Structure 1
């Protein structure tokens, strides 16, 4: 009995060892994080690679300024001149000493906002863009909801604590991903050092701050946790929010986005680096389709051609555990009621990708060429001729039937 037990244990151990060799890297080890909430996302396709309490309500601190900058860029001119109000100059927390009546270029204030996290810059930008902090906060909420970040509420442009000012790691990822699509935002958020000139209304002791260095230590040369390829985006801290960091990095043509909330120091950077390494090392992108790949044919009604090819509008890839295989299937849905005229690039369907019957992504299918509408007389002629022939055949048959019945009456 004892021998049988030992033999059974040996078989189980052997099976486990074999599985390690046959299925290497299929389930990547999850990073152990100290932060309360965290998220890892592929920047291009939005695929979630890691999540910890991503839907939990959290305080964002100065990561709020990602949304502030996005709203300002979308609604103001970079060359605008912004006059600093007393309210802006008096705001507490992180500031760079802006003075009441000081006038700065809006673009310069955006650098101060995203690099040095100036709350005075945030307030000045909000008042200039929205007329008041209150109205600007409504603009922030409108923008967040339009992006799908529906579990957040913003009451100010800087992130100083307010119980009603909150977000989630998931919402912050949505907002940051959208912001990084904006070339102006991306350039500023990815800058390490910025210098400008200032003319102060009132003299100060010493030299006013004109050099601004990004607070994101991932960019800092010589820092032990500096990360090669980092592209942005924003730090944050309050007592209630803890250390916060939204970061992005690019490697081998792939860009990842991380959100780390309510952490410590240097834990916020330790967790961020762990997430980035997890994404770049433990997952491999698998190209599922390229741009312009033919995925079917659409019938075109009343067109000079009877059909048009349906091709993919863009490439699509999906991150899978490194070293593992996949069984991702694709399904094309093409508009069955397509009518001419059809324009090249017009959406005519959707190509969906499924993993175990769950849709993991999709791309638009578009027409590969123009198809003009047939001139009216052509398609009308093509439709009417058969109808006329049918009518004459039916009328002839009817006449024959009538003659037959008449003959039958005469000669019973």
Structure 2
């Protein structure tokens, strides 16, 4: 039996784009920085991108990701007394009050509330240490060997560190989560606190969101030890780039310059439109001798500019046996750039084909 897929796109393997430069960041005043293309993770620009430094409140990107992956946004969180009065930026939570997890996440990602981050940690991890272990496990799953968290809020710690590159990879993963993406792109949010009796409005600390239409987040940070830290992302014409700077006194200007430079180096290319790549396949033992196939999803990839000509290879058998349904996968089209795979799309049947019943003779055979 031919396996039926709900989506024509099976995978996009090894998205390939020529490494643009991996050179020192242009016009960058940070100690460490990196700009990456979000789909492939390719480094566009970098400076000391693998040097370990404190992340300050950009830590909260991982906090939000772990929370969203291990809880529901409509969960009710009873504020643990140990979270109340956490040093630094605060939502001024009260012990025992009940708050939606989603509201705590807005407080964390817009208002950078350390007590809200701690409350999430106690709710999901049982303790600050337990939640930090979850954060470290998630970093390890991403293959990040230069990141270690002690807490969910980013206050300085002896073994609380990451790198510009690792932060970019964490942000890249987090931006795949629709809830996370919606939260960090929100400019202001009214949150119910004190069991719904008090409304507090949090304004996103990311100034770039208010100044440029292509900015989609992500998080600011600062401690005296770390200096100013910033993770931002921009999307234009289907292309997304992520920028990270650590210890940068001119981060707003640097990010705008770096993001714009990165966006100019890539473009979104459509390899197959929905219903495209029409082919005919011969059918054996069916009511019809052949059936049409096509891709039932649009397939697009991000490629660096300039790039070579894309090529496609169709993978279809000489014939298929009847007994399949509309939408069943009968073959594939693979796409290549300079001989490297950049995408693969399933070819699905445009209609089903029942097995042809053999007519009986006068003897019932």
- TM-score w.r.t. the length of structure 1 is 0.67
* 1:105-130 Cα shifts (integer Å, max 9, x gaps): 22211110000111110010111122
CA distance in 2, matches of 1:373, 1:303: 6
8 Å Cα contact 1:243/1:263 also seen in 2: yes
The structure with the greater share of residues assigned to helix is: 1
8 Å Cα contact 1:310/1:349 also seen in 2: no
**1:234 Cα deviation from its structure 2 partner:** 1.0
8 Å Cα contact 2:94/2:194 also seen in 1: no
**1:191 Cα deviation from its structure 2 partner:** 1.4
Structure 2 residue 186 is matched with structure 1 residue 191: yes
Evaluate the alpha carbon distance shift between residue 198 and residue 283 of structure 1 in structure 2; reply closer, same or farther with a 3 A threshold.
closer
- Within the candidate set 83, 88, 103, 2:83 is matched to 88
Evaluate the alpha carbon distance shift between residue 295 and residue 331 of structure 1 in structure 2; reply closer, same or farther with a 3 A threshold.
farther
Structure 2 residue 317 is matched with structure 1 residue 327: no
The secondary structure found in structure 1 opposite 2:346 is: strand
Evaluate the alpha carbon distance shift between residue 84 and residue 318 of structure 1 in structure 2; reply closer, same or farther with a 3 A threshold.
closer
8 Å Cα contact 1:84/1:101 also seen in 2: yes
Q: How does 1:187-336 map to 2 (within 5 A)?
A: 187-199=182-194, 210-220=200-210, 226-251=211-236, 253-266=237-250, 268-294=251-277, 309=293, 311=295, 313-321=297-305, 324=306, 326-332=308-314
Unaligned runs of 5+ in 2: 1-19, 359-365
- Within the candidate set 350, 363, 367, 2:344 is matched to 363
8 Å Cα contact 1:247/1:259 also seen in 2: yes
Q: How does 1:58-77 map to 2 (within 5 A)?
A: 58-77=53-72
Unaligned runs of 5+ in 1: 1-26, 201-207, 221-225, 379-412
CA distance in 2, matches of 1:39, 1:373: 56
Higher-RCO chain (CA-CA 8 Å, sequence separation at least 6): 2
Evaluate the alpha carbon distance shift between residue 106 and residue 330 of structure 1 in structure 2; reply closer, same or farther with a 3 A threshold.
same
CA distance in 2, matches of 1:92, 1:64: 15
- TM-score w.r.t. the length of structure 2 is 0.75
8 Å Cα contact 2:235/2:241 also seen in 1: no
**1:289 Cα deviation from its structure 2 partner:** 3.5
Looking at CA atoms only, which structure, 1 or 2, has the larger radius of gyration? 1
8 Å Cα contact 2:57/2:155 also seen in 1: yes
**1:295 Cα deviation from its structure 2 partner:** 7.3
* 1:299-327 Cα shifts (integer Å, max 9, x gaps): 77877766763637432233333xx4633
The structure with the greater share of residues assigned to strand is: 2
8 Å Cα contact 1:173/1:257 also seen in 2: no
The secondary structure found in structure 2 opposite 1:196 is: strand
Over aligned residue pairs, what C-alpha RMSD do you find? 3.6
Between 1:229-238 and 1:340-349, the stretch displaced more is 340-349
